[in-house]
Amino acid sequence: MTAFSERVYDCVRRIPRGRIINYGSVAALVGEPRAARGVGYSLSHLPSGSDVPWWRVVNRRGAISTSRFTGLAQRQRAILESEGVEFNADGEASWERFGWDPHG
DNA sequence: GATCTGACCACCG
DNA sequence: CCGGTGGCCAGAT
């Protein structure tokens, strides 16, 4: 557990239900604008039983970027849809409607 | 300690 | 719009 990871988790925990954010924005919020990759890595190694809503983090296009081969992507999408997030034919969600801005 | 890998993104050209 | 490049973090070999 590093300081970077903790800041990432702390940021993700503040994302309200039914909202999404992208990896780059999380990185920027924790003070590392170019560490989007690090964010993805940290979330991929979340400790079991954590209260971090990792499923609310998607890629820049608003699409799910988790591995398609583990079935994780399908699960993530299902959870998001259960929270009210809608995806278009390309599997992208609207930032206008579901994007989370920490400012308000 | 060099190199590669992975749930990524911004910046050119 | 598409492709290449560099940048960031942490773990594995």
Can you give the residue ranges of every domain in chain A?
3-87
Type and span of the H or E element at A94? none
In chain A, DSSP assigns E strands to 21-22, 57-58
**Residue A103, CB, less than 7 Å from strand C?**
no
Average pLDDT (A75-82) is 94
**Residue A46, CB, less than 7 Å from strand C?**
no
Per-residue pLDDT, A103: 77
pLDDT tens per residue across span A14-71 = 999 999 999 999 999 998 888 999 999 999 888 878 899 999 999 999 999 887 667 7
Could you tell me which residues come within 8 angstroms of residue A69 by beta carbon, excluding any fewer than 6 positions away? none
Per-residue pLDDT, A66: 81
Per-residue pLDDT, A83: 97
**Residue A60, CB, less than 7 Å from strand C?**
no
Range A3-87 has CATH code 2.40.160.10? no
Per-residue pLDDT, A68: 62
The alpha helices in A53-94, defined as continuous H runs, are 72-82
